[in-house]
């Protein structure tokens, strides 16, 4: 039955390659979808602040569940691929990248949920001028997320590197906002409660930007096999900022 | 090896591997048939008959095997995928020329066709890609899946916020059930929404910022009608101040109208060919009298010719006029405003590109670090008093930012206390002579 055996081998090899490719594609597609969801959540959370839209904020909180579910699905699919296909080289890097990126996106989703929760609190108080600065910082984070997800879909290491380098802008906006909030609080202690919520929201937005650079590192490694430099220049100096009262 | 593979397929379900099982079944039937024929041949014709039966069945098996190898796909039970031949050439041409972006999606998840307008928004080379590689908006993906499954046409509104804010209404409808083809049509609502927003914003901004100078003028009028009526010195002084305030209000309204117009068109890609060198020189020439009054020299340094950019000339002239005007305003007297132009190769929004870099440097006092991120905010001033003295409206850099956005560029601000500031504009150069489809950015997701 010699000819029949090689016929079987031919048919099966074809099926194996096709099924494997389809699984890798399904993985990439799921990551892109999860990315889209994270983008929508972050965008809605920031809108909830900029437009004082509490209903939108509540939607964000409710939808966080979907983000978590997608992450679990991606992990399960990736584990199947690893266990049964034993991928190598770029396929292996792609599978690992999917797991890592899903993790980062889940964190971004959580940050969006926390921002939304605080937005609900903020919207009960009278509007504060600094909300616009916060919205601009949020837009910058969103732009980073969009750019890095595009880099993933396009398998483009140069765009990933650009995202990685640009995180400094968000850090600078955060520093600026931090100092201004301190000034606000010192001038009028009645605003301390409100300003503290602001600080947490700003910190969350800044953290979201950091997660984007993590995704950029993963994308770069996935495509090239190399690493972006270990030390990324960090612009956030608030951890060591001194607080001085001006007379 | 055989049994391992069989287990793998058992895990992933039968659908994709129906061909394998079908092939196996056929082979087993062939073996059974061969055994029966062999037994019959042996019984009636003896060994020679058995040998003959073996030869005949081998030939049959080989030819069946060759036949199978050629058509495994035919027995696969995958959903039928359409190819572009489902569209008549006339239909395809019609869809291609529609002004609204349109996408045809195969089987719920693969791009079958994208018309010209869609390619301009999303980029080229997206056919046969998975839909999620091209569009990530959850609402759209859900709508496409639902329409593919139920055949129900849907319409949803959604927005894209970065890099430029746009609003769309999307329509999905299933144009074919088997093979499954779903159509996605986009209708751009940006202009409409912007116009609404502009109206609201303009009224809010205008009333807020005009209130102060208007109050001052009203106050002086009161004083001139009353206590200072017969005081010629006071009259002269107050009339001077009123003149300044009126001029300030006029400049403010002009800047607001400018900003409104620019924001209204921010989402429209620029269409002209512009030489940045010519634009910079024009702006510098227009501001030469002002620079001369402060004894400031404007120098344009362009060691090599720089490529043209896709742009709206008037807006770019306004951009550089604003930057140079700022440099003159905040620069040291008897100092220098230096504008340098060069080109560079760097990653842009859509892969590596040639870029034109224009840097405007002044030698004034510099800008404190914490103020820099807020400079392009409307009506933000580092030092309100100084800005008013120099006739600033607080809108110059906001105008610059929106123009840069429209031109897919970047603005960088660097400054050191005591050493002056450098405002750098990076703009993508025009690609080749043909209509740049790659000037379109993936704004739509």
Q: Alpha-carbon Rg of chain B, whole angstroms?
A: 36
Query: Which positions in chain A touch B3 (Cβ < 8 Å)?
Result: none
- For residue B5, list chain A residues with Cβ-Cβ distance below 8 A: 12, 16
Peptide bond into B197 cis (omega under 30): no
Distance in angstroms (rounded) separating the CA atoms of residues B331 and B361: 9
What's the CATH code of the domain at B121? 3.30.450.20
Region of poorest pLDDT, from A6-10, A160-164, B213-217, B396-400: A6-10
Question: pLDDT digit string (tens) for B326-348?
Answer: 999 888 888 899 999 999 988 76
Tell how far CA B356 is from the center of its chain.
Answer: 19
- Residue of B19, B132, B193 best to disrupt the A interface, most CBs of A under 10 A: B132
Cis amide prior to B163 (ω within 30 degrees): yes
Question: B421 with B303, same domain?
Answer: yes
- pLDDT tens digit sequence for B99-109: 999 999 987 68
Minimal CA separation from B328 to chain A, in Å: 26
Task: Give A5 to chain B, closest Cα distance, Å.
Answer: 9
Q: Looking at CA atoms only, how far is residue B373 from chain A in angstroms?
A: 6
Residues 6+ away with beta carbon under 8 Å from B74: none
Structural domain harbouring B169:
84-188
Q: Provide the token pair at B132.
A: 């999620």
Query: What CATH number should be reported for the domain holding residue B197?
Result: 1.10.287.130
pLDDT of A77 reads: 95
How far apart are the C-alpha atoms of B235 and B221, rounded to whole Å? 10
The minimal CB distance from B5 to the residues A10, A12, A29 is found for A12
C-beta separation of A31 from A74 below 8 A: yes
Domain boundary among the residues B211, B237, B264 is at B264
Structure tokens at B238: 């107050």
Question: Which residues in chain A show pLDDT less than 50?
Answer: 1-4, 245-247
Where is the domain boundary, B128, B154, B188? B188
Q: What is the mean pLDDT of chain B?
A: 82
State which of A37-41, A85-89, B11-15, B217-221 shows the largest mean pLDDT: A37-41
Helix (H, G, I), strand (E, B), or coil: what is residue B150?
helix
* Backbone phi, psi, residue B6, to 5°: -60, -40
* C-alpha distance from A178 to closest chain B C-alpha (Å): 10
What is the architecture of the domain spanning A8-240?
Answer: Up-down Bundle (1.20)
pLDDT at B79 over 60: no
Rounded to a whole number of angstroms, the distance from the CA of A139 to the nearest CA of chain B is 7
| CB proximity A161 to B under 8 Å | yes
Task: Among B48, B75, B102, give the residue marking a domain's end.
Answer: B75
C-alpha distances in Å from residue B8, one per residue of A84, B2, B11, B16, B77: 8, 10, 5, 12, 18
Contact B137 A15 (CB under 8 A): no
Tell me, yes or no, whether B346 and B227 share the same domain.
no
Asked if the Cβ–Cβ distance from A35 to B371 is below 8 Å, we say no
Do residues B161 and B254 both lie within one domain? no
Predicted local distance difference test score (pLDDT) of residue A197: 92
Same domain, residue pair B30 and B160 = no
State how far the Cα of B144 lies from the Cα of B77, in Å rounded to an integer: 23
Cβ contact, residue pair A40, B138, below 8 Å = yes
Examine the domain organization and report whether B94 and B42 are in the same domain.
no
Is A7 in CB contact (< 8 Å) with chain B?
yes
Dump the DSSP string for B366-405: ---GGGGGGTTSTT--SSHHHHHHTT--S-HHHHHHHHHH
CB contact under 8 A, B162 and A37: no
d(CA B438, CA B350): 8
pLDDT tens-place string over residues B43-68: 887 777 778 777 877 787 677 666 55
**Cβ contact, residue pair B372, A172, below 8 Å:** yes
Residues B173 and B149 in one domain: yes
With CB atoms and an 8 Å threshold, state whether A29 touches B130: yes
Domain ranges of chain A: 8-240
Helices (H) and strands (E) in chain B, counts: 12, 12
Inter-chain contact A158–B352, Cβ cutoff 8 Å? yes
Q: Please tell me the predicted confidence (pLDDT) of residue B313.
A: 94
Residue B161 to residue A142, Cβ atoms within 8 A: yes
Option in A11, A43, A149 nearest B72 (CB): A11
Let me know whether B162 and B208 are in one domain: no
Check residue B110 and give its pLDDT: 87
pLDDT value, residue B171: 95
B279 shares a domain with B255: no
Count of the separate structural domains present in chain B: 4
- Contact yes or no for A39 and B445 at CB 8 A: yes
Contacts of residue A32, Cβ cutoff 8 Å, sequence gap at least 6: A149, A152, A153, B130, B132, B133, B136
Highest mean pLDDT among A205-214, B88-97, B155-164: A205-214
Count of CA atoms in the C-beta half-sphere (13 A) of B154: 19
Is residue A158 less than 8 Å (CB to CB) from chain B? Answer: yes
Does the structure show a pLDDT above 90 at B154? yes
CB of A84 within 8 Å of any CB in chain B? yes
CA B288/CA B295 separation, integer angstroms: 10
d(C-alpha B210, C-alpha B246), whole Å? 10
Q: Which residue of B has its CA nearest to A31?
A: B132
pTM of the model: 0.67
List, in order, residues 6 or more apart from A115 with CB less than 8 Å away.
A42, A45, A46, A48, A49, A60, A138, A201, A204, A205
Chain B nearest CA to A59, separation (Å) = 14
Say if residue B435's pLDDT is above 50.
no
Do B209 and B298 belong together in one domain? no
> Which residue among A7, A18, A39 sits closest to B65, beta carbon to beta carbon?
A7
Same domain, B423 and B301: yes
Any idea which of A20-24, B4-8, B323-327 has the lowest mean pLDDT? B4-8
B97, B229: one domain: no
- Higher confidence at residue B17 or residue A12? A12
Identify the bridge partners of residue B158 per DSSP, sorted by sequence position: B168
Q: Which of B17, B133, B161 sits opposite A43 (nearest CB)?
A: B161
At residue B234, does pLDDT exceed 80? Answer: yes
| Judgement on whether residues B300 and B401 belong to the same structural domain of the protein | yes
Beta bridge partners of B155: B171
B16·A43 Cβ contact <8 A: no
Q: How far apart are CA B324 and CA B360, in angstroms?
A: 7
Query: Could A158 and B16 be called an inter-chain contact, meaning their C-beta atoms sit closer than 8 Å?
Result: no
């Amino acid at each position: 039955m010699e000819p029949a055996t090689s016929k079987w081998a031919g048919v099966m090899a074809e099926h194996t390659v096709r099924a494997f490719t389809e699984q890798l594609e399904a993985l990439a597609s799921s990551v892109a979808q999860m990315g889209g969801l994270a983008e929508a959540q972050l965008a809605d959370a920031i809108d909830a602040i900029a437009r004082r839209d509490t209903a939108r904020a509540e939607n964000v909180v409710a939808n966080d569940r979907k983000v978590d579910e997608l992450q679990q699905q991606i992990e399960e699919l990736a584990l199947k691929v690893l266990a049964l296909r034993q991928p190598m080289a770029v396929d292996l890097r792609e599978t690992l990248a999917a797991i890592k990126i899903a993790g980062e996106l889940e964190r971004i989703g959580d940050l969006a949920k926390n921002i939304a929760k605080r937005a609900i609190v903020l919207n009960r108080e009278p509007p504060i001028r600094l909300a616009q600065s916060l919205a601009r910082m949020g837009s910058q984070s969103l732009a980073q997320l969009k750019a890095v997800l595009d880099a993933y879909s396009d398998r483009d290491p140069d765009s990933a590197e650009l995202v990685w380098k640009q995180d400094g802008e968000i850090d600078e906006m955060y520093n600026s906002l931090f100092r201004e909030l301190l000034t606000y609080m010192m001038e009028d202690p009645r605003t301390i409660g409100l300003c503290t919520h602001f600080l947490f929201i700003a910190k969350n937005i800044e953290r979201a930007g950091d997660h984007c650079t993590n995704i950029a590192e993963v994308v770069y490694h996935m495509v090239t096999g190399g690493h972006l430099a270990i030390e990324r220049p960090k612009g956030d100096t608030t951890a060591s900022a001194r607080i001085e009262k001006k007379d | 090896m055989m049994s391992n593979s069989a287990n793998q397929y058992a895990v992933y379900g039968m659908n994709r591997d129906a061909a394998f099982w079908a092939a196996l079944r056929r082979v087993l039937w062939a073996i059974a048939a061969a055994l029966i024929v062999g037994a019959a041949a042996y019984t009636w014709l003896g060994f020679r008959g058995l040998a003959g039966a073996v030869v005949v069945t081998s030939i049959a098996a080989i030819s069946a095997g060759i036949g199978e190898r050629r058509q495994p796909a035919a027995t696969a039970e995958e959903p039928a995928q359409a190819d572009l031949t489902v569209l008549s050439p006339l239909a395809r041409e019609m869809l291609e020329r529609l002004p609204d972006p349109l996408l045809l999606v195969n089987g719920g998840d693969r791009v079958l066709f994208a018309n010209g307008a869609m390619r301009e928004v999303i980029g080229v080379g997206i056919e046969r890609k998975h839909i999620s590689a091209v569009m990530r908006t959850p609402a759209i993906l859900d709508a496409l899946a639902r329409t593919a499954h139920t055949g129900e046409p849907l319409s949803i509104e959604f927005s894209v916020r970065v890099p430029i804010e746009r609003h769309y209404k999307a329509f999905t409808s299933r144009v074919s059930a088997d093979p499954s083809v779903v159509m996605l049509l986009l209708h751009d609502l940006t202009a409409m929404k912007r116009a609404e927003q502009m109206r609201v914003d303009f009224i809010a901004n205008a009333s807020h910022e005009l209130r102060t100078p208007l109050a001052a003028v009203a106050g002086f009028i009161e004083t001139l009608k009353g206590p200072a009526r017969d005081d010629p010195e006071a009259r002269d002084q107050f009339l001077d101040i009123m003149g300044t305030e009126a001029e300030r209000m006029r400049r403010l309204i002009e800047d607001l109208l400018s900003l409104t117009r620019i924001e209204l068109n921010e989402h429209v890609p620029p269409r002209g060919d512009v030489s940045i060198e010519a634009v910079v020189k024009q702006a510098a020439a227009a501001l030469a009298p002002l620079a001369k009054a402060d004894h400031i020299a404007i120098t344009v340094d362009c060691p090599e010719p720089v490529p043209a950019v896709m742009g709206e000339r008037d807006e770019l002239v306004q951009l550089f006029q604003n930057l140079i005007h700022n440099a003159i305003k905040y620069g040291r007297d008897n100092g220098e405003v230096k504008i340098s132009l060069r080109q560079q190769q760097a990653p842009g929004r859509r892969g590596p590109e040639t870029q034109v870099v224009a840097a405007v440097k002044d030698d004034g006092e510099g800008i404190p670090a914490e103020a820099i991120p807020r400079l392009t905010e409307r009506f933000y001033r580092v030092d309100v008093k100084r800005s008013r003295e120099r006739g600033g409206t607080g809108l110059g850099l906001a105008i610059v930012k929106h123009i840069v956005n429209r031109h897919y560029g970047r603005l960088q601000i660097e400054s050191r206390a005591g050493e002056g500031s450098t405002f750098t504009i990076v703009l993508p150069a025009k690609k080749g002579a043909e209509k740049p489809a790659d000037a379109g950015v993936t704004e739509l997701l």
